[in-house]
Structure 1
Amino acid sequence: MKSIYKKISEIEKSNESAALCTIINTTGSTPRKTGTKMIVYDDGSIFGTVGGGSLEKKVINNAIEIIKNKTPRILKYALTQKEGMGCGGSNEIFIEPITGTSKLIIFGAGHIGKTLAKFARQVNFSVTLVDDRQDIFDDFDTSGFQIIQKNYNIAFDEIKFDNNTYIASIMREHSFDRDVVAYCAKQDYAFLGMIGSKAKIATSKKIFLSEKILTEEQMSNINWPMGIDIKCNTPEEIAVSILAKLIDVRSKLN
């Protein structure tokens, strides 16, 4: 049992996507007792077992769905001959997503990006900064942050996108922001936002639609202009506006 809890701690620290499956009730003959636990990862791999066979396959499939929608459920499974389980009993299994620290990926490490990174870490976001400029981090204490000092097109391959990923595009050129958003809008994420004036955002929307880069539905999930609607001018004020939106989304999802 200790190894299961150690595994859960590792998952929370590494921000992996997984679910904990616990047998909470049994009737009749069953291969595992109440309290038995199994971890299911988003790729279908497991740690532990709730009995094997067709039962376990069903639990794994249900757990993968629960990882995606973040909604815990109690499910009942009959262990019948028809299902290839001759025990004849039944299990009730509580399946709950294991949620680690929310990941914030900031594309662009300018004044706003760096300020947002500092603020976000203080409210329990795991922060990654992406920027390919050689000297961009010279005046920035990178300890406690993940740094990807590469072009964003290359950085995409190093990022694991999932439904606990928050993405803020604050690039030095608006065309770069469009590239980032065009890619990220097709990935799994909890939040995707792009900085810019209302005029620049309107231009981006027209480009995405006219060139068939994104659909109306994909664009409807993007927060742009990014942040809460307050009057702000300085990097600190803009970062606070963005962070407030991130916190709001996270609290609603959790």
Structure 2
Amino acid sequence: MSWISALAELQQQGEPCVLVTIIEEQGSTPRNSGSKMVVTAERIFETIGGGHLEYKAMELAREMLTSRTQQTRLERFSLGASLGQCCGGATVLLFEPMGQPQAHIALFGAGHVGRALIPLLASLPLKVRWVDSRDAEFPAYIPSNVEKVLSDEVVDEVDEMPAGSYFIVMTHNHQLDLELTQAILARDDFAYYGLIGSKTKRVKFEHRLRERGFSAEQMQRMRCPMGLPEVKGKLPAEIAISIAGEIVAQYNAHFGQDTRKGESTVSRLLPDSRRTHTHS
């Protein structure tokens, strides 16, 4: 696949990448100026000449992906013994991050709050899977970055999400909420888990989860009640705004856009003693 086709496909899929371009060549070099290579976390498309130069370029591009920087970068490489290449020339590479990193969210429940929350999530740089077993609960219009998942085995959908995903549970059934909670906490690789409900519901769930072998540290990762305490109200739209605000705070903290001295945005905004939403 050509670099331009790969770039278009990756941008459509929302997968971050780095476009590496030779912008200057001095002396003997393996490729001419303008040659390009697209680097993702796991793949490369096209080439800038191979060898150790290409390896170092891939390494640097993936460091940029890991750090989630959006800043371009220029690097000059001498094609001599230090790179294990005998061209004897030099080349300057431009590294351009492409695409914002996207969080993956699984929202379980298509009830009133779920239907109010989906348009808010769809307006953010997120990829959403909206899961329910009741087809009639889904609205006719589903935003393009939201995948409707109609499933009789709702809990099985937990395993379909990649590591680092966000999970939101607000189904119509407390037993199903518990089964989903167990499956999510057992993964232990999620970025966020929010369960709608009251403090009483949390206490009941923690008791059941302890009986099933979950530790206090595992249960502490569960946000219940969830939502920004500053946003009060009992209407579905008000609850949805509160939850979306918490997601934005967690997203910004996770992607390094709003941290101070190692303290996450969520830990600053959401002390447990101030949580107010007690629905479900």
Q: TM-score range by the shorter chain?
A: 0.7 to 0.9
Distance of aligned partners of 1:178 and 1:192 in 2 relative to their CA distance in 1, 3 Å threshold:
closer
Partner of 2:158: 156
Query: Structure 2 length as normaliser, TM-score?
Result: 0.68
Q: Is the 8 A contact 2:131 2:154 kept in 1?
A: yes
Distance of aligned partners of 1:86 and 1:220 in 2 relative to their CA distance in 1, 3 Å threshold:
farther
Q: Is the 8 A contact 2:30 2:49 kept in 1?
A: yes
Partner of 2:62: 64
Segment of structure 1 superposing worse, 26-35 or 204-213: 204-213
1:35 CA displacement: 4.3
Distance of aligned partners of 1:5 and 1:227 in 2 relative to their CA distance in 1, 3 Å threshold:
farther
SS at match of 2:52: helix
d(CA) in 2 for partners of 1:67 and 1:221? 26
Greater C-alpha radius of gyration: 2
Partner of 1:20: 19
d(CA) in 1 for partners of 2:18 and 2:52? 18
1:56 CA displacement: 1.8
Q: How much identity, in percent, do the aligned residues show?
A: 27
1:215 CA displacement: 7.7
RMSD: 3.6
Q: Is the 8 A contact 1:29 1:90 kept in 2?
A: no
Partner of 1:178: 181
Partner of 1:121: 122
Q: Is the 8 A contact 1:8 1:98 kept in 2?
A: no
The yes-or-no answer on 1:47 pairing with 2:40 is no
Query: Structure 1 length as normaliser, TM-score?
Result: 0.74
1:134 CA displacement: 5.2
1:135 CA displacement: 4.2
**Structure 1: gaps (5+ residues):** none
Distance of aligned partners of 1:95 and 1:118 in 2 relative to their CA distance in 1, 3 Å threshold:
closer
d(CA) in 1 for partners of 2:222 and 2:19? 31
Q: Is the 8 A contact 1:115 1:235 kept in 2?
A: yes
SS at match of 1:7: helix
**Structure 2: gaps (5+ residues):** 258-280
1:175 CA displacement: 0.7
The yes-or-no answer on 1:247 pairing with 2:255 is no
1:24 CA displacement: 4.9
1:49 CA displacement: 1.3
Q: Return the letter of the residue paired with 1:81.
A: A
Q: Is the 8 A contact 2:22 2:91 kept in 1?
A: no
Distance of aligned partners of 1:19 and 1:94 in 2 relative to their CA distance in 1, 3 Å threshold:
closer
d(CA) in 2 for partners of 1:98 and 1:157? 26
Q: Is the 8 A contact 2:107 2:130 kept in 1?
A: yes
* Length, aligned pairs only: 245
Segment of structure 1 superposing worse, 105-114 or 141-150: 141-150
SS at match of 1:186: coil
Q: Return the letter of the residue paired with 2:83.
A: E
d(CA) in 2 for partners of 1:104 and 1:84? 44
